[in-house]
Structure 1
Amino acid sequence: MLIQVLIGAFTGFGLYIVVRALVPARPGAAAKVARIDALRARGQYGVPAAQPHSLRERLGWSIADFYARRGWEQHSVRADLRLLERHWQQFLVTKVGLAAVGFLIGPLLFGVTWLWGFHLTPLVPVWLALGFAGLFFILPDLEVRRDATAKREDFRRVVAAYLDLVSMNLAGGRGLPEALMSAAEVSDGWALRRLRDCLTDARLAGVPQWTALGDLGTELGVKELTDLGAALNLVADDGAKVRASLSSRAETMRRREIAEMEGKAGARSQSMLVAQMLLSAGFLVFILYPATVRIFQLS
């Protein structure tokens, strides 16, 4: 009786989630602005834009519009995608496509087990289909989060070196805007390229460069760059304070990076120690087992 009650409860909860997701909710102001931006990007508000031609592009825009109507903004995922330079619509198409594949894998596995002689209840393929669909649906999120975390760490290292270069340019007598751009031109790496493009766009738009850097940090989810933009906005007119602030921030970021590296090294050392202990225990069991069996047989 308890199993039937639990199955009914889970089924009812699943149906509630499906209905709640499909029924259009009343969007907030942020959702309406996001929908207007999406329509403007597609050229539906008088702004010419490249219309999607392929089925994948049309499906991506449809899913993105569906998300916008229900206010599903997912700021962290979008920040990760912007950092990885991937498109939101393509990401949504990948999620839905993998979910469809997972939905088909469940009944396929059920059919294989049925041919092998395992006659299970008809509810098994339904649960398998839903389980695999849900698992495959979240796999792109896990991949994006993993790649973005690694890339964001690299970006933080570059920002620390970039602050040192800006401080050196300021010490050489350059102004803050020239120092920011000059430090970003020392390499063609992807991180400095993002910083250089941000500074160039800010100069063309007439926006203070430190404000643009703060906005870039918010867009990519890099808190250090956001704090840098706020700090430079406060001391931009005092060169000495700017140099001191940049030097201290670069040193703080390096110390934090060293501490994180030491923590990761310690965790890896502990995992290696556990693996060595398990290997030693298995070797001892392999050696002592024949002798122990022999002793019990003789007794």
Structure 2
Amino acid sequence: MLNWQLTLAVSGGAVVGLGVFLMVRELLPASPALGPALRRLHQPPTVVRPSASAARSPEWLTGAARWLRPPHRQLALIGQTPEQYALSVLLSALIGVATPTLAGAFLAMMGVGLPFVVPVLGSLGAGFLFALVAHQAVVQKADRAREEFRLAVCAYLDLVALQLSAAHGPVQSLERAAEVCDGWVFERIREALRIAQMQMHSPWEELRDLADKIGIPELGDVGAIMRSSGSEGAQVHDTLRSRADALRDQIRTDDLAKAEAVTSKLDIPGSLLVFVLLGFVVYPFLARL
């Protein structure tokens, strides 16, 4: 009996160790291959550009990604593929399933017997919980990235307006404004403009496609405004500035709403503290009755 328990514990530990190794291996950045990167740049606009990691993914992982229905816009925003999302969710669920099993085996080795249904239900519940936590981590990371992207778009609008006021053309203004700042947001914008230049597309169409792909409509507004720059001239400068101011007001309003929501949550422990103090005051009188 002891050998069976030891074998179960060793097998569960090996499964957990393998899952952790695969997760770390997927999270570590890998150097992209030059050939697939060049082919993605020269593909026609109607063809979907697959990533290098997606091309290396096995078929079962691709099928699992379709079955899990990943949030494509959130994944495109944070630079992950559906296959990476599916792998993280499946590994998290596997760790959740293995944890109660290992705990049950350890308790059995210590002489504490548990009904068979307890580790089974615990494994199913922990697997679902761990998978849900992995999904929520992706969603929260995408929400933070979206807020950062919107703030960067505000600065990009002002920079494009300054470039237009310096008598630069629409396309040159978009490119020069993207080269001013660093960061992953401006890197994504520069990449979109670079693809538009290599494929001989209009940059505002490429910005609109990027905005639709990652779910940032504010970036699409930049392309929509710059599309009319050839006919309206100086009015585009004022439109860009007014759109930047409106976006800042919207971000400020959203931040105030989030702060009020957090403040309202703090009222609950404050109310509970009042009841606790009231209990300390009333208890001596009740004890004398």
Match of 1:61 among 41, 58, 61: 58
Q: What do you get for the CA RMSD once the two structures are aligned?
A: 3.0
- Distance (whole Å) between structure 2 residues aligned to residue 116 and residue 140 of structure 1: 34
Q: Percent identity?
A: 29
- Distance (whole Å) between structure 1 residues aligned to residue 179 and residue 169 of structure 2: 16
Matched residue, 2:14? none
Checking the alignment, whether the CA contact within 8 Å between 1:159 and 1:225 is kept in structure 2 is yes
SS in 2 for 1:185: helix
Matched residue, 2:196? 202
- Distance (whole Å) between structure 1 residues aligned to residue 219 and residue 68 of structure 2: 23
- Distance (whole Å) between structure 2 residues aligned to residue 38 and residue 177 of structure 1: 27
Structure 1 position 92 matched with structure 2 position 89: no
Checking the alignment, whether the CA contact within 8 Å between 2:62 and 2:83 is kept in structure 1 is no
Structure 1 position 137 matched with structure 2 position 113: no
* Post-superposition offset of 1:180: 1.0
Matched residue, 1:165? 159
* Post-superposition offset of 1:213: 0.9
Matched residue, 1:269? 263
Matched residue, 2:19? none
- Distance (whole Å) between structure 2 residues aligned to residue 231 and residue 116 of structure 1: 72
Structure 1 position 180 matched with structure 2 position 170: no
SS in 1 for 2:270: helix
- Distance (whole Å) between structure 2 residues aligned to residue 227 and residue 74 of structure 1: 29
- The one-letter amino acid of 1:181's match is E
Structure 1 position 292 matched with structure 2 position 280: no
Tell me whether 122-131 or 104-113 shows the greater mean CA deviation: 104-113
TM-score (norm 1): 0.70
Checking the alignment, whether the CA contact within 8 Å between 2:74 and 2:138 is kept in structure 1 is yes
Structure of higher RCO (CA pairs closer than 8 Å, 6+ residues apart): 2
* Post-superposition offset of 1:72: 4.5
Checking the alignment, whether the CA contact within 8 Å between 2:204 and 2:226 is kept in structure 1 is yes
- The one-letter amino acid of 1:208's match is S
Matched residue, 2:142? 148
Residues 279/262 of structure 1: CA separation in 2 closer, same or farther (3 Å cut): same
SS in 1 for 2:257: helix
Matched residue, 2:6? none
- The one-letter amino acid of 1:149's match is D
Structure 1 position 256 matched with structure 2 position 250: yes
Matched residue, 2:3? none
Matched residue, 2:238? 244
Checking the alignment, whether the CA contact within 8 Å between 1:63 and 1:92 is kept in structure 2 is no
- Distance (whole Å) between structure 1 residues aligned to residue 224 and residue 67 of structure 2: 29
Structure 1 position 222 matched with structure 2 position 216: yes
- Distance (whole Å) between structure 1 residues aligned to residue 276 and residue 79 of structure 2: 47
Checking the alignment, whether the CA contact within 8 Å between 1:61 and 1:89 is kept in structure 2 is no
- The one-letter amino acid of 1:142's match is Q
Residues 116/235 of structure 1: CA separation in 2 closer, same or farther (3 Å cut): farther
Checking the alignment, whether the CA contact within 8 Å between 1:176 and 1:239 is kept in structure 2 is no
Structure 2 residue ranges without an equivalent (≥5): 1-46
* Post-superposition offset of 1:100: 1.6
* Post-superposition offset of 1:293: 3.6
Residues 66/226 of structure 1: CA separation in 2 closer, same or farther (3 Å cut): same
Checking the alignment, whether the CA contact within 8 Å between 2:97 and 2:127 is kept in structure 1 is yes
| Matched length | 242
- Distance (whole Å) between structure 2 residues aligned to residue 63 and residue 81 of structure 1: 19
Residues 84/104 of structure 1: CA separation in 2 closer, same or farther (3 Å cut): same
* Post-superposition offset of 1:80: 2.0
- The one-letter amino acid of 1:104's match is A
- Distance (whole Å) between structure 2 residues aligned to residue 238 and residue 103 of structure 1: 62
* Post-superposition offset of 1:238: 2.7
Residues 285/94 of structure 1: CA separation in 2 closer, same or farther (3 Å cut): same
* Post-superposition offset of 1:156: 0.2
Matched residue, 1:192? 186
- Distance (whole Å) between structure 2 residues aligned to residue 235 and residue 151 of structure 1: 29
